[in-house]
Amino acid sequence: MTNSTLAFTPVPQVQPTSYASQKNAQYNNQASIFVDLNKRLNDAIANVPHFRAIGIRGSLKSACETWIKKFSHVKQFSELNLVQTIMVPLSDILIDITMQRKLDLAWVIQILTKFREVQAQPLQVYKVVNPTGDLGYYPVGDSLYASWDAQHTGVVFYIIAVWILKMDPTKVMVPVNIYPVKLKSEIRQNFVSTNSDDGKKLLEDIDLFMQMIFGVRLDGNNNTDWEEAEIKQRFLEQADLFVTHAKFGDTDQPGAISRMQEINSYSPDIIRKFCLYSSTIPVPRPIASQEIEILCKFFDIAKKEGIDYDDAEVLDIGNHLHALFSSNFHESSPFWDKVKMSYESWYSKANPESFAEFGLKGFTTEMRTGIPFLIAQLKKSTKLKVPAFTPNNGFTVNKKDLW
């Protein structure tokens, strides 16, 4: 048996075609991409489905009305009792979209609705070096500044100043803390490590993963954990898969992986095996949470028992599962119908009194029932070596229950 390695073929730089390749292309930018607050806000609204965008605009309008009632005495932005710090023109603030997480409009609405002057913190910024002047933005003050943290506060400042108070952003002064850094990697490390304070929009697993990829590819960060995440991303790209989250509205797209536990928990080799397995699915589709949970765990326990499936064997497994039940691991699939039937047969014999009185208990469409069945099935219908696995519920599969 040949051990799989972490070797990979460099991803060719071609025009993205699938949705997954378009999503993954964001990580291949070789430089920062700066946009002003107006574009950041409007792009975020434009990038959601039409009816959701209508709802968001309605929520923003309602939040603005709430703010107006609460601060009816405020006619100029300078009348807000904000923290005392260095003040720079609002129009000089840019957002580095390769640094910041995607703008969360729900969080913007929440900040605006519950806005408190004394709680609004300065924008965390660094000076933008623009020697050629080709960014398309020009400072009103002494420099342009990129916000590396508090972009949501910056957008709220913009809404209050421009949308509500109808002011010219070049004439509105906002508080900033300027960080005299020279390396972008230092800023990204700050961004990741400081977003755990109470009262902030915390980084979720997907945000952290994306920052790691950007950090390695754009900043040259050599943090071991970050480099490992970037290797996983390369495997995902080669399989036309991408990680996402419900907040991005694309978990139903082909290749979407919305469950981050396995991406974060397993080694690059296990993720590589899962990516290779996914290539046996003829028609691209979203990856079911049970699918990545069960397959990654299966490959992991096998490897720990000395069964390190090579590429041909991984493909055999994938093709075999597709032939049996179309590799469909969704809750209503034939796979779980068979697993439930087998589990009920086992449970009725292992717990006859409880079954007689209360019926079937403890069945879930999860790893502890799915993996024992998967292992038993592969042991019966293939010549592959399979690992041993005893779930915490003691579930065992009778051969007659298998395909």
Say yes or no: 89 and 117 in one domain.
yes
Say yes or no: 40 and 149 in one domain.
yes
Q: Summarize pLDDT for 60-82 with one digit per residue, the tens.
A: 999 999 999 989 999 999 998 77
Nearest-angstrom CA–CA distance, 158 and 35? 14
Q: Among 203, 235, 251, which residue terminates a domain?
A: 203
Q: Among 308, 325, 342, which residue terminates a domain?
A: 325
Say yes or no: 98 and 196 in one domain.
yes
| Weakest-pLDDT range from 3-7, 159-163, 232-236, 327-331 | 3-7
Say yes or no: 352 and 259 in one domain.
no
Say yes or no: 68 and 157 in one domain.
yes
* 96 in any annotated domain: yes
What would the mean pLDDT of 312-331 be, rounded to a whole number? 95
Side-chain-facing half-sphere of 171: CA atoms under 13 Å: 6
| Identity of the residue numbered 115 | F
Say yes or no: 177 and 283 in one domain.
no
The pLDDT of residue 231 is above 60: yes
Question: Full-prediction pTM beyond 0.75?
Answer: no
Say yes or no: 106 and 166 in one domain.
yes
If pLDDT is split at 50, 70 and 90, which confidence band does 30 have? Answer: low
pLDDT at 73: 93
Q: Among 281, 299, 325, which residue terminates a domain?
A: 325
The pLDDT of residue 32 is above 80: no
* 382 in any annotated domain: yes
List the domain range (segments joined by +) for residue 149. 31-203
Burial class of residue 310 in the structure, from the number of CB atoms within 10 Å of its CB (0-12 exposed, 13-18 middle, 19+ buried): middle
Nearest-angstrom CA–CA distance, 268 and 274? 10
Mean of the per-residue pLDDT values for the chain?
Answer: 87
Say yes or no: 294 and 265 in one domain.
yes
The pLDDT of residue 137 is above 70: yes
pLDDT at 4: 45
Say yes or no: 67 and 179 in one domain.
yes
Nearest-angstrom CA–CA distance, 169 and 93? 10
Nearest alpha-carbon partner for 299 in 168, 389, 209? 389
* Structural domain count of the chain: 3
Residues 6+ positions from 398 with CB-CB distance below 8 Å: 342, 345, 346
Say yes or no: 195 and 224 in one domain.
no
Say yes or no: 63 and 187 in one domain.
yes
Nearest-angstrom CA–CA distance, 157 and 15? 37
pLDDT at 16: 54
Q: Summarize pLDDT for 162-205 with one digit per residue, the tens.
A: 999 999 999 999 999 887 776 777 777 767 766 655 445 667 89
If pLDDT is split at 50, 70 and 90, which confidence band does 384 have? Answer: very high
pLDDT at 182: 64
Nearest-angstrom CA–CA distance, 171 and 62? 26
* 79 in any annotated domain: yes
* 13 in any annotated domain: no
Helices H / strands E in the chain, number of each: 15, 8
pLDDT at 1: 43
* 187 in any annotated domain: yes
* 2 in any annotated domain: no
Nearest alpha-carbon partner for 107 in 202, 210, 205? 202
* 12 in any annotated domain: no
* 128 in any annotated domain: yes
Enclosing H/E stretch for 216:
helix 205-219
Residues 6+ positions from 30 with CB-CB distance below 8 Å: 218
pLDDT at 7: 52
Say yes or no: 46 and 118 in one domain.
yes
* Radius of gyration over every alpha carbon of the chain, rounded to an integer in angstroms: 26
